[in-house]
């Protein structure tokens, strides 16, 4: 069984935020006040999902692990402009995940979370398959919404 020591991840869905009126923000007493107008590019988080297990647990092919990691963490980094992180960009993740699943390179592994508090044995999960299904849902729900972006950290 392959395991990934990478930290857990958080997937966030963002949309354009257009305040009804001007917003003034002062980050500290010493800083100048920043004013946001309707035309400024602000984002608000509308959906967040924290994955409790390491996503790549069970992915046995190193090339596919690298490809999946790049199609998520690199492609949807919070440092990238929201306009460059649309839902449509998930297609490269879907291709990499489908390749891993079709090749049998995504094994079932022990979950890091317990199913029930009184159950000492972990349950088995195919994290890549579960994550793939959740991301498909996210993509189908929001792919046609204007001003929507995704971040993965």
Alpha carbon 53 to its chain centroid, in Å, reads: 13
Contact 36, 42 (CB under 8 A): yes
In-domain check, residue 5: no
Is the per-residue pLDDT at 39 higher than 60?
no
| Number of residues written out for the chain | 153
Whole-number average pLDDT of the chain: 83
**Residue-range definition of the domain harbouring residue 121:** 10-152
Task: Provide the sign of the torsion angle of the four alpha carbons 42, 48, 52, 53, taken in this order.
Answer: negative
Q: Is 19 inside any structural domain?
A: yes
In a domain, 1, yes or no: no
pLDDT band, very low/low/confident/very high, at 132 (cuts 50, 70, 90):
very high
Is the predicted pLDDT of residue 100 greater than 80, yes or no?
A: yes
**Structurally, how many domains does the chain consist of?**
1
CB of 70 closer than 8 Å to CB of 32: no
- Return the half-sphere exposure (C-beta side, CA atoms, 13 A cut-off) of residue 141: 11
Instruction: Using the predicted structure, report yes or no on whether residue 18 has a pLDDT greater than 90.
Output: no
In a domain, 31, yes or no: yes
pLDDT computed for residue 38 by the predictor: 53
Task: Give the SS3 label for residue 125.
Answer: strand
User: Does residue 4 form part of some domain?
Assistant: no
H/E stretch holding 42 reads strand 42-50
Question: Does residue 118 sit within a domain?
Answer: yes
Q: Tell how far CA 47 is from the center of its chain.
A: 10
Q: Please tell me the distance from the alpha carbon of residue 32 to that of residue 101, in angstroms, as a whole number.
A: 52
Mean pLDDT of the 30-44 span: 72
Alpha-carbon gap, residue 57 to 2, rounded angstroms: 6
Whether residue 54 lies inside any domain: the answer is yes
Q: Is residue 129 in some structural domain?
A: yes
pTM assigned to the model? 0.78
């Amino acid at each position: 069984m392959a395991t990934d020591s990478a930290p857990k991840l958080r997937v966030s869905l963002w949309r354009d935020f257009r305040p009804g009126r001007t917003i003034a923000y002062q980050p500290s007493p010493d800083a100048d006040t920043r004013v946001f107008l309707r035309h400024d590019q602000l984002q608000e988080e509308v959906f967040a999902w924290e994955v409790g297990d390491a996503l790549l647990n069970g992915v046995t092919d190193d090339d596919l692990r690298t490809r999946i990691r790049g199609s998520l963490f690199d492609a949807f980094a919070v440092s990238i402009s929201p306009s460059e992180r649309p839902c449509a960009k998930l297609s490269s993740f879907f291709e990499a995940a489908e390749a891993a699943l079709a090749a049998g390179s995504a094994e079932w592994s022990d979950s890091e979370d317990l199913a029930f508090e009184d159950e000492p044995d972990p349950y088995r999960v195919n994290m890549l398959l579960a994550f793939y299904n959740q991301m498909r849902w996210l993509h189908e729900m929001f792919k046609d919404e204007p001003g929507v972006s995704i971040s993965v950290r």
